[in-house]
Chains A and B, each alone.
Chain A
Amino acid sequence: MFQSVIVLLVVGLVAFSMFRFVGDPIDNMLGQERTQADIDRLRTELGLDQPFPVQYFKFLKGAVQGNFGVSYRQGRPVSTIIAERAPATLELAFVSGFLAITMGIALGVFTAIRRQGIAANVIMTVSLIGVSLPTFLIGILLIYIFSVELDLLPSFGRGETVMIGGWSTGFLTASGLKALILPAITLGLYQMTLIMRLVRSEMLEVMRADYVRFARARGLSDRVINFRHALKNTLVPVITITGLQLGSIIAFAIITETVFQWPGVGLLFINAIQFVDIPVMAAYLMLISVMFVTINLIVDLLYYAIDPRLRVDARAT
């Protein structure tokens, strides 16, 4: 917990100080016809004339209260803008994360058990493509095949959304769900192949372990051995990697959102960079790091749930 707080503070500092150097927002905010008086006035208004530590402190104070300032470009509070955009990204990340984990584990187990089979070898070969092709290329390929050639699925946007208490969801409409398919696959494919390969190699390792041989010698069925004894033991390393990867699903959403014009926070960030919209950029980075830290905290807790050897009070007698 203590470590998490330090991580967040450091990320905040880095994010904040980095943006001092990306450019002067004043240039973009005022047109060609500006006067020195205008510039000075705006500077004071935005607090840019104050020394750096003071600015950072104000930023932190606001951030703790959920107030990230006002977007330079849109003139609205950053927290409102992000709250509008976040559901899109979170839904996308959730669906692709879910796909990646379930498909990854299932295929990993399958390829480990049927190591010699033709299907397993085909899956392994295809997975190499998933690992080696860059995300945007997969996205463009999918758009070309399913939207341009087959005209089955939309190539951009979220489709229709329904508002439920401030959360705009695409899960409840047909067009929303349709629009979700391609971006979710694009975003999740890399993670899925990664998880699959990891599960496979861990599984092969575990299948050689003595306790699996002993389970077999006790006459337990293959199903019990594979899914009860072996799978649970593969989960510890898999969870570690999956935790890190889930964080990067949200981070990498930037690329996918750009390719599919998905109205999420990633797209917001790209636009913010073009306009040197410092409050938006800082808030986005803070959001991402909060997610990383939270996911890793959950991962640590999961370790304890899965592996009894890590529980502190237990000791050999």
Chain B
Amino acid sequence: MSLLTINDLTVEFPTRRQLFTAVDHVDLSVEPGEIHGLVGESGAGKSTIGAAIMGLLDRPGRIASGTIKLSGDQISGLDADAMRSLRGKKISMIFQDPLTSLNPLFTVREQLVETIQAHLGGTDAEANQRARDLIDRVGIPDPDTRLDQYPHQFSGGMRQRVVIALALCTEPDVIIADEPTTALDVSVQAQILDLIKELAQERQVGVILITHDMGVIADTTDKVTVMYAGKVVETGPTSQVMGQPSHEYTKSLIAAVPRPTLKLHRFPQISYGGRETRFAIEDMARHWPKVENDASKPVFEIRNLTKKFLQRRGLLPWDRTYFTAVDEVSFDIRAGEVFGVVGESGSGKSTVARMIAGLYPVDGGTIKFEGQTVSDLTNKAALDAYRKNIQMIFQDPYSSLNPRMRVDDIVAEPIRHHKLMDGADIKRRVDELLDQVGLGHEAGLKYPHEFSGGQRQRISIARALATQPRFLICDEPTSALDVSIQAQILNILKDLQEHLGLTLLFISHDLPVVRQMCDRVAVMKQGKVVELQETNELFANPQTEYASELLRLMPKLDDLSTDGLGVTE
């Protein structure tokens, strides 16, 4: 008998206009000690399954049909009180973002003890002892001190360990992990996944691992279920589904995953469901001012760039303490190349980008753009002229577009600011841009919230291209997007570089993506560039220990099918 069995589950969300079926006749079973991956793009219904098992469906969602059984007992349709005593006791959940899933105002001990006592009762001393054991078990050093600290005193990875400890409080039979490592760095991700694997083995817990990351699935899970639009399209042992996918959707999904091992010219895009969106690069190239890129000349010369942030304020200079985010960084960016910067969070990569964009003042060193020093520009006119040539695409397509502005105003804003055109010309230009990025000019009349993540990133690209810049800074442009959308956006960026002669600074923590996109890569650690190499060279022979460590932790994806990549090995 399986530990958890889901039979013919259908979850519906009645909305004012229609009935939305989030989960459509899904079957699923999990054995003790098994890690079962649930993979699919956003909106596929994978998190909804998790919420349905927990009895935590957001209103007005409801289970329309089907049953969920835990060790043979039906748990779907239980009343709220019975469900509550099950939650945390038999089934636990780990959420995506460890930064927000702990209450910031209570210490780790308080949160653990309250959960233990809610389910097991017992004296304070017993609960405290158990809390300490758990914190120790999930690998947090110095448990006695750490227990009395608040969540903000923990790093992201340590917080996720606390969350896991909370999920383990009462020896649950099933743990549902909803994107447990998406918000974490590669090295931390590997540790957390190892911990989950270990615990599943050791305690014979069944784990449902919900993720959109094929690398995590391939490395961690025993079985995998692929979902598309609320339906299960394929299920089976991980090696089989990843190696010989039988369904078209699985094939195209796997094909869209950036590979660390082989470099492709373009990303294969998901063809299933016909969602491919046009990007009219030829149109764009026709109107673009021709630039001759002389690859021998650097566009940017960056020397000893330094940025310090005030950590503690003080009236007197010697009372202040600073944190050096970027420490004497030097590199050149050649005309027409894609220059990658990789590093973990806190390595200073975004800070470098912001200083180049002129968003942060420079605390030391110089930035030269085409031979001219721009880091000390104070004259507004000169600064504007420089900024017209560099544009930025941000990570989060949800917060980088002003929700109160119409899309055509968003795209027109840089043109208006730099007074490049006026009146009807602006309108024509904006319509053209929106057509070219594949949204169609009628999109200009809408507001950002009416678009999906990928479409919003296209709006950002249209905005960045509005001034016809020479240089684009892309700060993690795809890390908030699904693989298939990521493939589309990365293809667009490649087109821009190839057809328009743009130079790109590409910042990412995702090594496979960097491998596909960049000509040269700088590896940053704690504010310093530790290695700077041609991309192929870096992936083949990393020179520093840190770089090889990063490469080692990267999911290998060797078992993934290479169908549809257009390559033969």
Contact = CB atoms under 8 A, between A and B. Distances in A.
Given A210-B101, A211-B100, A211-B102, A218 B88 contact: yes
Nearest to B159: A316
B416 interface: no
A282 B89 CA distance: 65
Contacts of A209: 100
Interface residues of B, number: 35
Tier of interface size on chain A:
20 to 34
A214 B163 contact: yes
Contact of B88 (A213, A220, A229, A317): A220
A217 B100 CA distance: 14
Given A216-B87, A218-B169, A315 B153 contact: yes
Interface stretch (A79-87, A129-137, A165-173, A305-313): A305-313
A219 interface: yes
Interface in B69-90: 84-89
A209 B169 CA distance: 22
B118 A211 contact: no
Interface string B84-120: 1111110011010100111111110000001100110
B199 interface: no
What secondary structure prevails in chain A residues at the interface with B? helix
Given A210-B97, A316-B152, A219 B86 contact: yes
A39 interface: no
Contact of B150 (A214, A233, A308, A312): A308
B486 to A, nearest CB: 24
Interface in A263-317: 306-309, 312, 314-317
A58 interface: no
A2 B88 CA distance: 50
B275 to A, nearest CB: 30
A221 interface: yes
B400 interface: no
Nearest to B313: A312
A220 B115 contact: yes
Contact of A221 (B95, B103, B118): B118
A181 interface: no
B312 interface: yes
Interface string B136-170: 00000000000001101111000000010011010
A220 B114 contact: yes
B95 A309 contact: no
A315 B153 CA distance: 5
Contacts of B152: 308-309, 314, 316
Interface string A25-37: 0000000000000
A35 to B, nearest CB: 57
Given A217-B95, A218-B118, 9 more contacts: A213-B56, A218-B169, A219-B87, A221-B118, A224-B114, A229-B103, A309-B150, A314-B150, A315-B153
The 4 lowest CB-CB distance pairs between A and B, nearest first, are A219-B88, A219-B87, A210-B100, A218-B88
